[in-house]
Amino acid sequence: MAARRRGRGRNRSLVRWATLRLSVVAVAVLGAALAWETAPLAVVGAGAGLFLMLLVRLWWRVRRRRARLGEMRSLRGLLALSPAEFEFAVADLFRARGYDDIHRVGGSGDLGVDLIGRDRDGCLVIVQCKRYGRENRVGSPAIQSFIGMAVHHRAERGVVVTTSTYTLPATRLAAQAPLPISLIDGTGLVRLASRAHDDARDW
C-alpha cells in the first residue's frame, strides 16, 4: 500500500499537466453551454470535441510512457533501444519519479548533458545517459568530464545513468565531487523502471 502511495506521488507532474489543460477546456465548454441561446451549436460542439481530443491525448501519452517503461524492465530491452530512445525512456523514468520540467537536450551540442530538469525540491538536475554493453564500464574520465559539465551548467545535482556498471575510481570520484552526483547502473535502472511501470498501472 505504501509503495502504491509513493507511485501516485511520483505521477503528480502528469496530474498537474492534465488538470490544468482539462480545466481550461472545461471552462471554455461551460461558457459555451451558458451561452447556448446566443452561440451557434458549432461552438459548443467544437468545445466538446477539443475536450475529448485532450482526453485522448492524455491517454495516449500515459500509454506511451508506460510502454517505454516496460521496455526498460530488462537489460535486453534497454540495449535494444536506440541512443535517442534510451534518453527519452530515462526521461520518462524521471518524470514518473516526480521530476518536473525535465526534457531531453541530446545532439551534438549537448556538451555531455542528455537531460535537464528539476527534482521535487526544485533543484536543477542534469542527467547523462550511457547505453553501454555490459563489458564497457563507465570509468573515471567520463565522470570527471560530467562533473565539469555539471559545474558549467550550475547544476545542483547530477545523475549518470548507464546500462553497464562503474569502475571503482569512477565511483570514488563521484563521491568527491563538489555537488551530489548519483550513479545508476544497469541493475538499479531496471529495478527503478520496474517500480515505475507497476505504479503506472494506476493510470
Neighbours of 154 (CB within 10 A): 9
Judge whether 202 and 7 are in contact, CB under 8 Å: yes
Domain count, the chain: 1
Q: In whole angstroms, what is the distance from residue 92 CA to residue 99 CA?
A: 9
Residue 11 pLDDT > 70: no
Average pLDDT of span 45-49: 60
Average pLDDT of span 146-174: 96
Tell me the β-bridge partners of 127: 115, 159
Spell out the long-range contacts of 26-34 with Cβ–Cβ below 8 A and sequence spacing 24 or more: 26/51
CATH of the domain at 85: 3.40.1350.10
**pTM for the complete prediction?**
0.66
Domain range spanning residue 6?
1-203
Q: In whole angstroms, what is the distance from residue 95 CA to residue 125 CA?
A: 12
Helix (H, G, I), strand (E, B) or coil at 174: helix
Average pLDDT of span 45-69: 59
pLDDT tens-digit series, residues 66-90? 665 566 667 888 888 888 889 988 9
Taking the alpha carbons at both ends of the chain, their separation in whole angstroms is 16
Tell me the pLDDT of the chain averaged across its residues.
Answer: 76
Residue 8 pLDDT > 90: no
pLDDT tens-digit series, residues 91-131? 988 988 888 788 888 665 566 799 999 998 999 999 999 99
Average pLDDT of span 3-20: 49
